[in-house]
Chains A and B, each alone.
Chain A
Amino acid sequence: MSTSDQTLDEILNLAAAHFKVPREKLSPDDDFFKMLGIDSLQTLDLLTKLENHFRVELPDYELQGVSDFRTLAGRIQARL
């Protein structure tokens, strides 16, 4: 089973690849809306990518108030 750090790392890699942003520009406590320049529809795309990658189901209401990668990783980790 992945550790939180592994999960966080995988999320950062996935987000960088999907939104074509250099990986080194993303860090765990970044506001992903701002860093990735995405809106709520694109956040749903990210959610789908994460669900498919981690093979979990994450209700989108669990993203309420979540805007940084570290907290997002915690939500995913709780489902593994």
Chain B
Amino acid sequence: METTKQHGEIAEKAPNRSPEAGLSWTLKDGVIELGLHRAPCNELGSEALEELEQFATFLQRVQGEAHALIIYSEMKPGFCAGADLRELYQRSQAMKQAEAIKGVRDFLERIHRVLNLIDAAPLTTIAAVHGVTFGGGFELALACDLIIADKMARFCFPELRLGLIPGFGGIPRLKRDLGNSVVRDLLLTGRSFNAVKAQQIGLVSQVVGEGESLRAARATAAQLKKFDRATAAEAKKFIKPIPHEELKREIDLFCELFARPAVEAGLRKFVESTDAQPYLP
């Protein structure tokens, strides 16, 4: 781990900022920043999961020294477009169904471990989002305490279009934060909605100008530095339960649905689309 001392503070950089890396992180002045930079839009596949697990190890090691974590994207189209559906389809086609379902369950359990860690981290976590914040990307944002969105952000759970439900903890976390009628609207229609609507329903804490979400997140993190870290961590633990049982049931339901023919058909349609990114319903 590369470490440099600057003005009495420790700045750490992950050693993985190679051209192939899709994530990188720093810790400076008590703020951890996790940058997502995997083309085209930070799709979450096996490589991204491995990198997230490395980040989780780093987070567990340094979280006692930090008061905030900011997660943001460097990719123009948006924060994160969700699971790498092309990889999911290709891998599931290459194996027998039972093996594919086992692989899916393993993936889900691993990503849940990472997101649960972020969700419960004893510091304030902020997702600074823009553009496409869909599926697994939306779930990554939901694991954070605050979402700051620029006015071009769009949120969506499109999983029903594939015969699936969100599998990275989205449903329990959405239910934790929003009224059931809004959750039903999002899940059952699969429609996307913009940042203004997201703020109106209580999902997004701030809507800022285009390109300003990271700046606003950093300003918020600077404010958080004024508070006693231990007290903030206890307050968070008190007001933000982790829905462990529901999260486990979500994995079970996802795996059950994955076995159905509609899923293979939905994935094939997505993968075979001639559009660069077929995100319209």
Q: Taking beta carbons and an 8 Å cutoff, which residues of A are in contact with B?
A: 39-41, 43-45, 47-49, 51-52, 57, 59-61, 63-64
Contacts and interface: CB of A to CB of B under 8 A. Distances in A.
Given A41-B77, A45-B131, A57 B280 contact: no
A48 B152 contact: yes
Main secondary structure on B side of the interface with A: loop
Nearest to B41: A41
Contacts of B131: 41, 45
Contacts of A51: 194, 196
A64 B78 CA distance: 22
Contacts of B64: none
Q: Which 6 A-B pairs have the closest CB atoms?
A: A40-B280, A59-B191, A39-B276, A61-B281, A40-B279, A41-B277
Contacts of A52: 151, 194, 196
- Which residue, of B131, B151, B279, has the highest number of chain A Cβ atoms within 10 A? B279
B189 interface: yes
Contact of A45 (B152, B190, B278, B280): B152
A27 to B, nearest CB: 23
A67 B45 CA distance: 32
B275 A39 contact: yes
A58 B233 CA distance: 39
Contacts, number: 55
Nearest to A45: B152
Interface of B: 41, 77-78, 131-132, 151-152, 154, 189-197, 275-281
Contacts of A63: 280
A52 B153 CA distance: 11
6 contacts: A40-B279, A41-B41, A41-B77, A41-B277, A59-B191, A60-B192
Given A44-B132, A44-B154, A59-B189, A64 B194 contact: no
A44 B151 contact: no
A67 B108 CA distance: 37
